[in-house]
Structure 1
């Protein structure tokens, strides 16, 4: 802190003032060697071949009656007109809405886990519990889906066997075979949803909060719920906005677990746009129409992500002006 007296100024303060008032020489821009560009060339080529080219090809062939390896005919917007009248396509978005809402609501559990974990005074205990909570992230998604498939078995599955053993036979269900239960059963795969990105982001945010703030809250009589809404959640604003973008992208691309366990059934109860697109391509042979569906999902992903990003920028601008 700068200290001033009537006779003199502390030398450190003089040095700081001299440094801020002295004219600065313009910095020379460093030239980047061609070796750096050559080193990035293989990565750029791989991205172009395996990412950008397939996406551009899908968009291009969405205007064609595409026959891979054969003769294709240009159809213009016919595939998109067919999509507008595809009832199953639009019904699949209802399932996406449920998946999105469930994904956002499920953040409550990792948030509670992060709050409880940060409240531990022992750093060793925090390390042990944090490790135990995030280790399941290393398990392959296929393994997790197959394990839950065994849990959901209607005859000898773990869930129904447990319910029958405690006399609750009436609660035993065909979890993946009932159209009213299949989707919610898929959504509960991975419960309690702690081993994931939301928990890591919430916990890392709380870790960066100075401990003095938590100590001051306890001295002022602020309970945990008040601290959550007055301090913790406002600090997580940017993380929540990023998670919203990620959950939008993940929701629009959802279909992996449903494909393995239900294939969109029963009675299309777990059909999502990705599964409908794959069915049109591989089962129906409608490759051009499937490309149109894929392009639509891509556009929706860009639009919703842009909306969240613009809202985030406006919020940041408002906060800066209000300071």
Structure 2
């Protein structure tokens, strides 16, 4: 084919038919199809370890919850007797009351990392913002056992920091056995980690505020929306998806709560700080009733799974609904 351009005959390259495909290009998909099994083969060790160390213990726990399980002896099948017994376990259900108090208190205390994130985002100096952000994030790397032991020292009735400070300022009458009094033990657990700034909630909130365009802040300032008014009308609505993530993590984390209570109080005194996980451990290791402990842990797993699915479903349904409304308009 020739093309006349500026009175010169130019030979254009031949147009290749769509059916003319190089042999190498046609062979490439074939090689890919032949190797579809390679990723699956690479994932087999992962699924094997998950099955051995994750799925099998969960499945075996569900199975043994129907038995009077004796690991070193002959087990007796009980059917649903363990679950029927669970409904009359007052300590088990009171542990959920304590868990509810811990969850509500933890969510309310999100106000502290929110204030810290708002103050940090207001800093103009990049170096100072980086320095303060680093100082607030570093404590996340500390092991939880370190935090629990530090607060155990704070609450010590004899030489604890809190009682010593009260005595030093002339308020020795307020010195107390904070974790040994049933009326104060749960409250003492709630304040472990005060002021609750350093942690994942702060990191998520700060990242969300960083993603808000500065033009919105400038426009809000021109309209007179500053301070708390801007936070309520602009920041919090734009952080809705991040708060849903935090709520989901708070639900799952609270249902698994028990490490701090185990170190500081062991669930006491008089079951004042008992939580579901501690109740399971007590039934399993102190009373040696492994089948009933399996029933309790299975119930806790079912509750965690149900609430997790519910939170994820609600989090997905809302954006879809809002998109549909926008398309309708």
Misfit runs of 4+, over 3 Å: 28-33
CA drift of 1:233 comes to 0.7
Q: Secondary structure at the match of 2:123?
A: coil
- With normalisation by structure 2, the TM-score equals 0.87
Q: Report the more deviating stretch, 191-200 or 282-291.
A: 191-200
2:207 maps to 1:204:
yes
Output the CA distance in 2 between the equivalents of 1:58 and 1:108.
Answer: 39
Q: Report the more deviating stretch, 113-122 or 211-220.
A: 211-220
Give the unaligned 5+ runs of structure 1. 1-27
Match of 2:100 in 1: 97
Q: Secondary structure at the match of 1:175?
A: coil
Aligned partner of 2:63 among 60, 65, 68: 60
CA drift of 1:170 comes to 2.2
Q: Secondary structure at the match of 2:179?
A: coil
The two structures, once aligned, show a CA RMSD in angstroms of 1.5
Is the contact between residue 114 and residue 205 of structure 2 (CA under 8 Å) also seen in structure 1? yes
Q: Report the more deviating stretch, 54-63 or 309-318.
A: 309-318
Match of 1:71 in 2: 74
Is the contact between residue 151 and residue 192 of structure 2 (CA under 8 Å) also seen in structure 1? yes
Give the unaligned 5+ runs of structure 2. 1-28
CA drift of 1:292 comes to 0.3
Output the CA distance in 1 between the equivalents of 2:148 and 2:93.
Answer: 26
Output the CA distance in 1 between the equivalents of 2:197 and 2:50.
Answer: 32
Larger radius of gyration: 2
Output the CA distance in 2 between the equivalents of 1:235 and 1:70.
Answer: 59
Is the contact between residue 99 and residue 254 of structure 2 (CA under 8 Å) also seen in structure 1? yes
Output the CA distance in 2 between the equivalents of 1:260 and 1:177.
Answer: 13
CA drift of 1:220 comes to 2.2
1:10-32 CA-to-partner distances (Å, cap 9, x unmatched) read: xxxxxxxxxxxxxxxxxx99756
Output the CA distance in 2 between the equivalents of 1:53 and 1:217.
Answer: 55
CA drift of 1:251 comes to 1.1
2:187 maps to 1:184:
yes
Is the contact between residue 134 and residue 194 of structure 1 (CA under 8 Å) also seen in structure 2? no
Match of 1:140 in 2: 143
2:219 maps to 1:216:
yes
- With normalisation by structure 1, the TM-score equals 0.88
Is the contact between residue 151 and residue 157 of structure 1 (CA under 8 Å) also seen in structure 2? yes
User: What pairs up with 1:227-246 in 2 under 5 angstroms?
Assistant: 227-246=230-249
Match of 1:114 in 2: 117
